[in-house]
Structure 1
Amino acid sequence: MSNDLKGKAESGLSPAVWRPIANILATCITLVAVGWALGVPRMLGISYYPQQILAVILGLSMAVAFVSMPLRRSALRDRLPWYDAVAAIACLGAVGYIVLYYPQMVNLIFMGPMNIWLPGVIMTLLLLEALRRATGWALVIIISVFLLYALFGNLVPGRMQGRAQSFEVLAGYMALDSNGILGIPMAVAGTVVVAFILFGQLLNVSGGSNFFTDAALLVMGRFRGGAMKIAVLASALFGSVSGSAVANVVGTGVVTIPLIKRDGYPSHKAGAIEAVASTGGQLMPPVMGAAAFLMAEFLGVPYTNIVLAALAPSLLYYVALFIQADLEAAKLGISSVPKSRIPPRSEVLTGLHFLFAFVVLMYALFSLNWQPERAAMAAAASVIVTSLVLGYRKARPGLDTIIGAVPKTGFSVVEILLISGASGIVIGVLNVTGLSFNLTYALVQIGAGSMIALLALSALVCIVLGMGLPTLGVYVLLAALVAPALIQTGIEPIAAHLYVLYFGMMSMITPPIAMAAFAAASIARAAPMATGFAAMRFGWSAYVIPVLFVFSPSLLMIGAPLQIGLALFTAVIGVWLVSAALAGFMAERMTPFVRVLFGSFGMLALLPAGMFDGAWISDLVGVAGGLALIVTSFLRAARKSEEA
Structure 2
Amino acid sequence: MAQSMELLRRTLGVVWFLGQIYILYYPPIPMLVRPLHVMMATALVVLWFPLRDWRERGSPILPLIDLSIIGALIAATAYYVLRADYLTERMENVDPVLLSDIVFGVLTLFLTCEAVRRVLGWNLLSVIIVFVAYCWAGPWLPGWLHFQGFDFPEFIEIMSMAGHGVFGITTETSVTLVFYFLAFSAMYTVVGGTELFMDVAIKLVGRYPGGAAKAEVVSSALFGTVSGSAVANVTATGSFTIPLMMRTGYSREAAAAHEAIASTGGQLMPPVMGVAAFVMADILRMPYSQIALAATLPAIAYFGSLYVLVHLNALRSGIGSLPIADIDAIAPVLRRIALLLPPAALIGAFASGYDASMAAVVGMVVAWACSYLPGGRPLTPSRFLEMMDDCARQASAVAIPIAAIGIIIAVAVQSNLAIKFSTQMLSLSGGTLIGSLAFVALGIVVLGMGLPTVAAYVIGAILFVPALQKLGVDVLASHFFVLFFAVLSMVTPPVALASYTAAGIAKANANKTGLYAFLLGLPSFLIPVAFVYKPAILFIGSPGNIVLAGIMLLCGTSAWTVMIAGYLDRALSIVERMLFAVLAMLLILSPFDLAGDLASVGAFLMLTGWCFRHRLSGRRHHQTLPGRE
TM-score range, shorter chain: over 0.9
Question: Which residue is equivalent to 1:545?
Answer: 527
1:629 paired to 2:571: no
Deviation of 1:104 after TM superposition, in Å, equals: 2.1
The answer to whether the aligner puts 1:487 opposite 2:469 as a matched pair is: yes
Letter in 1 for 2:364: A
Residue in 1 that maps onto 2:254: 269
Letter in 1 for 2:47: V
Note the alpha carbon deviations across 1:296-325, whole angstroms, 9 max, x for none.
111112222212211111111111100000
The DSSP-based 3-state class of the residue aligned with 1:390 is: coil
Comparing 617-626 with 477-486, greater Cα deviation is found at 617-626
Q: More deviation in 54-63 or 430-439?
A: 430-439
What code does the residue aligned with 1:40 have?
Y
- 1:501 and 2:488 correspond: no
Q: Secondary structure at the match of 2:320?
A: coil
Which of 37, 46, 54 is 1:66 aligned to? 46
Note the C-alpha offset of 1:76.
8.4
Q: Which moved more, 1:530-539 or 1:130-139?
A: 530-539
Whether the 8 Å contact between 1:151 and 1:167 is mirrored in structure 2 is no
What pairs with 1:466-615 in structure 2 (closer than 5 Å)? 466-608=448-590, 615=596
Q: Is the 8 A contact 1:245 1:279 kept in 2?
A: yes
Shift of 1:639: 11
1:102-149 deviation per Cα after TM superposition (whole angstroms, max 9, x unaligned): 222452764332111110000101110111000110100101111111
**C-alpha distance in 1 between matches for 2:185 and 2:461:** 26
Going from structure 1 to structure 2, the CA distance change for 1:20 and 1:527 (only over 3 Å counts) comes to same
After TM superposition, list the pairs within 5 Å mapping 1:409-420 onto structure 2.
409-420=391-402
Hey, what does 2:242 align to over in structure 1? 257
Q: Output the CA distance in 1 between the equivalents of 2:136 and 2:587.
A: 51
CA distance in 2, matches of 1:147, 1:407: 34
Query: Pairwise mapping of residues 130-279 of structure 1 onto structure 2 (< 5 A)?
Result: 130-279=115-264
8 A Cα contact 1:509 1:516, kept in partner: yes
Q: Secondary structure at the match of 1:449?
A: coil
Taking structure 1 as reference, are residues 621 and 391 closer, same or farther at Cα in structure 2, changes over 3 Å only?
A: closer
- Give the SS at the match of 2:38: helix
* Equivalent-residue separation in structure 2 for 1:533 and 1:77 (angstroms): 39
Deviations along 1:391-411, one digit per CA (max 9) or x if unpaired, are 43xx53423212321121001
**1:83-482 superposed matches below 5 A:** 83-105=65-87, 107=90, 110=93, 111-342=96-327, 344-367=329-352, 369-392=353-376, 396-446=378-428, 449-482=431-464
Deviation at 1:238, TM superposition (A): 2.0
Change (3 A) 1:158 1:264: same
- Give TM-score scaled by structure 1 length: 0.90
SS at match of 2:79: helix
TM superposition shift of 1:184: 1.1
Distance 1:77 1:323 in 2: 49
Q: What one-letter code is carried by the residue in structure 2 that aligns with 1:375?
A: A
1:343 is displaced (CA, Å) by 6.6
Q: Secondary structure at the match of 2:50?
A: coil
Determine helix, strand or coil for the equivalent of 1:375.
helix
Counterpart pick for 2:63 among 71, 76, 81? 81
Alpha-carbon distance between aligned partners in 2 of 1:527 and 1:228, rounded to the nearest angstrom: 19
Q: Is the 8 A contact 2:568 2:612 kept in 1?
A: no
Q: CA deviation at 1:515?
A: 1.2
Aligned-partner Cα distance in 2 for 1:84–1:67: 8
Instruction: Indicate conservation of the 8 Å contact 1:235/1:281, yes or no.
Output: yes
Distance 2:185 2:328 in 1: 23
SS at match of 1:153: helix
Q: Give, as a single letter, the amino acid of the residue that structure 2 aligns with 1:31.
A: L
Matched residue of 1:52: which SS?
helix
Which stretch has the larger CA shift, 599-608 or 251-260? 599-608
Deviation by residue 1:587-611 (Cα, 9 ceiling, x = unmatched): 122344433333333433444476x
Change (3 A) 1:525 1:492: same
Match of 2:35 in 1: 55
Aligned length: 616
Confirm or deny: 8 A CA contact 1:588 1:637 kept in the other structure.
no
Identity %: 33
1:548-582 per-residue CA deviation (whole Å, 9 max, x = no partner) reads 21112122222332332223223323322322222
Which amino acid letter does the alignment assign opposite residue 457 of structure 1?
F
**Counterpart code for 2:10:** N
Mapped pair 1:35 → 2:22: yes
Q: Measure the CA separation in 2 of the matches of 1:445 and 1:340.
A: 61
Q: Is the 8 A contact 1:602 1:626 kept in 2?
A: no
C-alpha contact (below 8 Å) 2:419/2:463 kept by paired residues: no
Task: Give the match for residue 627 of structure 2.
Answer: none
Deviation at 1:67, TM superposition (A): 2.2
Deviations 1:446-476 (A, max 9, x none): 4662111211111111111111011222222
Deviation at 1:210, TM superposition (A): 1.1
Task: Check conservation: 2:526, 2:557, Cα contact below 8 A.
Answer: no
In the aligned structure 2, how far is the partner of 1:277 from the partner of 1:355?
Answer: 21
> Is 1:22 aligned to 2:9, yes or no?
yes
Displacement, 1:520? 1.6
State the TM-score, normalizing by the size of structure 2.
0.92
User: What is the one-letter code of the residue matched to 2:40?
Assistant: L
Deviations 1:529-564 (A, max 9, x none): 222222122111321111121112122222332332
User: What is the CA distance between 1:29 and its match in structure 2?
Assistant: 2.3
Q: State which of 616, 625, 629 in structure 1 corresponds to 2:597.
A: 616
- Report SS of the residue matched to 1:512: coil
Q: Secondary structure at the match of 2:490?
A: coil
Name structure 2 gaps, 5 residues minimum. Answer: 624-629
Using the TM superposition, give the Cα deviation of residue 379 of structure 1 relative to its aligned residue in structure 2, in angstroms: 0.5
1:135-183 CA-partner distances (Å, limit 9, x unpaired): 1101001011111111232222111222311222212321121022111
1:620/1:94 Cα in 2 relative to 1: closer, same or farther (>3 Å)?
Answer: closer
SS at match of 1:242: coil
The Cα of 1:416 is off from its aligned counterpart by 0.7
Q: Deviations over 1:333-373 (max 9, x none)?
A: 22221122237322211222222112221121122x11101
Q: Secondary structure at the match of 2:472?
A: coil
CA pair 552-499 structure 1, distance change in 2 beyond 3 A: same
8 Å CA contact 1:607–1:619 kept in 2: the answer is no
| 8 Å CA contact 1:554, 1:567 repeated in 2 | yes
- Following TM superposition, by how much is the alpha carbon of 1:250 offset from its aligned partner in structure 2, in angstroms? 1.7
Report the Cα distance in structure 2 between the residues aligned to 1:426 and 1:218, rounded to whole angstroms: 46
- 2-structure distance, mates of 1:563, 1:203: 37
Q: What is the distance in 2 between the residues matched to 1:593 and 1:609?
A: 23
The whole-number CA distance in structure 2 between the counterparts of 1:55 and 1:208 is 34
| Cα distance, 1:431 vs structure 2 | 2.6
- Post-superposition offset of 1:618: 6.2
* Counterpart Cα distance in 2 of 1:483 and 1:78: 48
Q: Deviations over 1:195-230 (max 9, x none)?
A: 111111111111111111111112222222211111
Cα 1:544–1:149 shift into 2, 3 Å? same
Q: Is the 8 A contact 1:587 1:637 kept in 2?
A: no
Is residue 267–residue 524 contact of structure 1 (8 Å, CA) maintained in 2?
yes
CA contact (8 A) 1:601 1:625 kept: no
Q: Which amino acid aligns with 2:44?
A: V
Between 1:479-488 and 1:324-333, the stretch displaced more is 479-488
